[in-house]
Chains A and B, each alone.
Chain A
Amino acid sequence: MKCPGRELLFDPHADADRTAFAAHAATCEECRPLLALHRSTFRALEAQEMIAVDQRGVWAKIDAGRRSARPWFDWQVGLAAAAVLASAIFIFLRVSDPPAATVAVEEWIDIAKTTDLEFSGAALKVGAGSKLLFSADPAAREIRVFRGTVDIAETSLEGAQPLAIETPHARILAVGAKYQLHVAPEKVRIAVERGQITAIDRGVEHRLQENETLELPAAEMPKPAGATQNTENADTPETAPAPRADLEAWMLAADTHRRAGELERAEKLYRRVVAHADGAAYREEASLRRAALLAELGQKDQALRVLQTIAPGGNLRPERAALEARLLLDKNDLAGAARILEKFEDRRDPVLESIREEIERKK
């Protein structure tokens, strides 16, 4: 029969050092080896080496995953919708030769070899080296093409919702047309074989008929009259405002680079939007995204400076507050971080709350 004193070791209310059991083992020969075994066990457990995870890589996967997770759905609705969507995707995105293969939606796909696809009633031949993204909502009928060559044969009848193709240069709308797109960083080339398409470039509509070809250059940064300022290095250069369509194209291109992990290029484009925005909405949004990128690139002081240029004294968005407070916290400016959070009386934002907790811990 084992010594009843052993129970002191297993007592759920015992302290970490097992003081009561140690006292008992001091006078109990039977329990002394158990105490030694217990101590060596915990030494071994506590010595477990921790693996350093690749945070940037993990975040990239989470970011890609959340974009396809469609979090704005209530989950029950999401589950039902997912079933419908899965069948829809299977029908709409089917490689015709060989048959029955599918491709992902709502994430950027790099096409390694020329591939035939069907999407929402359109037959696509996507050239090798192309990079594109299909909307998860088949009703939206939207594809984003970042680069490459795509032959599109669209068979919808007049009056149907047009198939929309978004490139960093233009938005192309077509119903029942057959055409080819060649998307390169400096321009997009559109060649119509059959039917009619509309290409919208910086607010200007171009209508193309059968056998017509159009080349649209990448949205150029408008040159400020008489200025030679280097906007690549300035946070808030005084430049001429750009048309809204340009801002949208730059934002699209920046977001595309960001999702592709090309952070420096994305950062430059957000800076371009900030420099040329004629209104607070674009400037604030682009500044916020730029600051987040700078922080990710480790340029925290610069990120903080960018944030502090956004509407001082104006409305403070939680995303901005979280980023600014986090950056101040990293600089050990606890008072500054706390001041930012004071502006939010509603304590339900989990991100802001987690920063508040950290401030308290550091105090």
Chain B
Amino acid sequence: MVLESFLSAAPALETLFRAHAVDVARLVQRLLGPGAGRADVEDLTQQIFLAAHRALPKFRGDSKPSTWLWGIATRTVFREIRSRSRHRKMVAALEGMLATAPQQSSPHDQKLEQRQELARVWRCLMEINPKKRMVFVLHELESMSGREIAEYLEIKEATVHTRLYHARRELMEKLEKEAR
């Protein structure tokens, strides 16, 4: 056994994790919505860094590391939110959040009301095609530009704008319908 056999534990991925784990976990939560639990977020964060680990040898420095990692993260989450079982699970969690009736006037209940309002919005968002929903969340909640989103999702910027337009429109129409 030689020393070189120990060198596979190089800290590069670890350093990348330290630098970006919090942001990646936040991005995952934003994209999954409030229906996701801690286990879902941790599981996807783990998947993203493992995907990054597999892709590291091919990183050539053509983009910033954060751009590169964001691309991996968004595409990994996108694959996940397209899955029917994930969709069902998230919707069921949102329905569960809406099922608890808040009592009036206590601070605890105000928080519950806020959560329910969020769940109502997300229930409508979950009815939108994941491609459009993804662009909506990245732009509206993560303040990413059309160009950045196009780069991460590997699509044209014009496609980002089209999806954003439809997502905004569909969401407001669904919310209006629900409010009536």
> What is the interface of chain A, defined by CB distance below 8 A to chain B?
9-13, 16, 34, 37-38, 40-42, 44-51, 53-55, 57-59, 61-63, 65-67, 69, 71-72, 75, 166, 171, 248, 251-252, 255, 258, 281-282, 285, 288-289, 292, 318-319, 322-323, 326, 347-351, 353-355, 357-358
Which 9 A/B pairs are nearest by Cβ-Cβ distance?
A: A348-B61, A350-B65, A12-B161, A354-B65, A44-B117, A10-B168, A12-B164, A10-B169, A351-B15
Q: In angstroms, how far is the closest chain A Cβ from the Cβ of B175?
A: 6
Are A71 and B140 also in contact (CB < 8 A) when A38-B172, A53-B42 are?
no
B12–A318 contact, CB under 8 A? yes
A353-B61, A353-B64 known; A285 and B6 CB under 8 Å? Answer: yes
Q: Confirm or deny: B99 has a beta carbon within 8 angstroms of a beta carbon on chain A.
A: no
Please give the distance in Å from A49's CB to the nearest CB on chain B: 8
Q: Are the CB atoms of A358 and B19 closer together than 8 Å?
A: yes
Please, which residue of chain B has its CB at the minimum distance from the CB of A14? Answer: B168
Count contacts between A and B, CB distance < 8 Å.
174
By secondary structure, the A interface counts as helix
CB contacts (< 8 Å) of A44 on chain B: these are 114, 117-118, 120-121
Q: Are A37 and B60 in contact (CB under 8 A)?
A: no
Contacting pair A71 B12 (CB below 8 A): no
CB-contact partner of A51 in B8, B19, B38, B59, under 8 A: B38
CB pair A66 B60 closer than 8 Å? no
Determine if B21 is an interface residue (Cβ-Cβ < 8 Å): yes
- Asked whether, in the complex, the Cβ of A62 is within 8 Å of the Cβ of B13, the reply is yes
Chain A residue nearest to B164 (CB atoms) is A12
Distance, CA A282 to CA B4, complexed state (A) = 10
A71 & B19 in contact (Cβ 8 Å cutoff)? no
Contact at B19–A354, with CB atoms within 8 Å? yes
Interface residues in B1-37 (C-beta closer than 8 Å to A):
1-3, 6-22, 25-26, 29-30, 33-34, 36-37
Is the Cβ of A66 less than 8 Å from the Cβ of B65? no
11 pairs from A and B in contact (CB 8 Å cutoff): A50-B26, A53-B21, A55-B22, A58-B45, A67-B8, A251-B6, A292-B14, A322-B12, A323-B15, A348-B60, A354-B64
